[in-house]
Amino acid sequence: MTRRAYTSTRRDQTSSITERVTARDVLSLAGFAEPNRNDMMRCPVHAEKTASFHVLERGFRCFGCGAHGGLFALCIVLDIARDHSSAARWLEENIGHE
């Protein structure tokens, strides 16, 4: 396990956060309703009546508009963060405490 020695502290922190957090954690912390038992919810990106937004373990994919990504992209589509680094900061502040 020498990988740690070759990565910067900040990068290491970021990867450990995304390893600890799930997409459901992000949704509940941000005050969104839980996805249904099929892990589907209504898409925050496009207007729709039926849920076509599939919540994955650490990401999402919308079958309606094709939006997809990981946890940072999820923070952005939920309007928690405006870019990758503010998403990382939000996760650190809300979840990054051990």
Residues at the interface with Zn ion (CB under 5 A): 43, 45-46, 62, 64-65, 67
C-beta of 87: minimal distance to Zn ion in Å? 19
Give the separation between CA 65 and CA 45, rounded to whole angstroms: 8
C-beta of 11: minimal distance to Zn ion in Å? 30
Give the separation between CA 98 and CA 95, rounded to whole angstroms: 8
**Cβ distance to Zn ion smaller for residue 43 or 55:** 43
Question: Burial code of 34-72, b = ≥16 C-beta within 10 A, e = fewer?
Answer: ebeeebbbbbbbeeeeebbbbbbebbbebeeeebbeebb
**Cβ distance to Zn ion smaller for residue 29 or 67:** 67
C-beta of 45: minimal distance to Zn ion in Å? 4
**Cβ distance to Zn ion smaller for residue 69 or 96:** 69
